[in-house]
Amino acid sequence: MTKFPALRLARLAIGELAEVSLIIAPGEVHCLSGPSGSGKSRLLRAVADLEPHAGEAWLDDIDQSSLPAHEWRARVMLVPAESHWWADSVGEHLPQADVSDLEALGFTTEVLGWQVARLSSGEKQRLALLRAVSREPAALLLDEPTANLDDATTRRVEAWLVTRIRERGWPVLWVAHDPAQIARVAQRHWRIEGSELLEVASWT
């Protein structure tokens, strides 16, 4: 039986944000909110080992500093708010795309032949999520993954994503602003207030 990992932050600090220590269990979603410029994206980038920081991140018993950065990022995968595309066509980024996943996100296989340049911001967001998921990471860091989507598409993406998170046992740190979305997807909710990361009590 596969053992799913937990993601642990141990006194991790970056910028003005004070030390953060928390554990995200396998298959759990922890949402992160806070004012613009409060450090949400920088915290994700620190966990992904994309910015220098104090403290440490762990994936079970593997600490971030023990792996080359590219190996860590393959396991603890960041999906940024603005996705990066390095080839001309969609299919070059998704060589093993599953038809059911494409359909769940509102696409047909025709999208694999599209040029990246023709994609809308919302289409890029959905395909960037699929690209990350298809690489089978061990944990996900999501920076407002549905920010450019309408309500119906947001719900569709949430349902697909949460199902995959549960199936794969990924610990997930998800930056979100919409209280309704946070209530739907998160087991715990953290908010940056000043330099502190504080847990928000659940209303459920």
Whole-model pTM: value is: 0.94
pLDDT tens-digit series, residues 130-171? 999 999 999 999 999 999 899 999 999 999 999 999 999 999
pLDDT tens-digit series, residues 30-58? 999 999 999 999 999 999 999 999 999 99
In a domain, 67, yes or no: yes
In a domain, 132, yes or no: yes
In a domain, 13, yes or no: yes
In a domain, 60, yes or no: yes
Share of the chain above pLDDT 90, in %: 91
In a domain, 1, yes or no: no
Write out the residue range of the structural domain in which residue 55 sits: 7-200
DSSP 115: B
Number of domains in the chain: 1
In a domain, 78, yes or no: yes
The arithmetic mean of pLDDT across residues 117-138, rounded, is 94
Give CA–CA dist 115/20, Å, rounded.
Answer: 41
Radius of gyration of the chain (CA): 17
| Per-residue pLDDT, 106 | 94
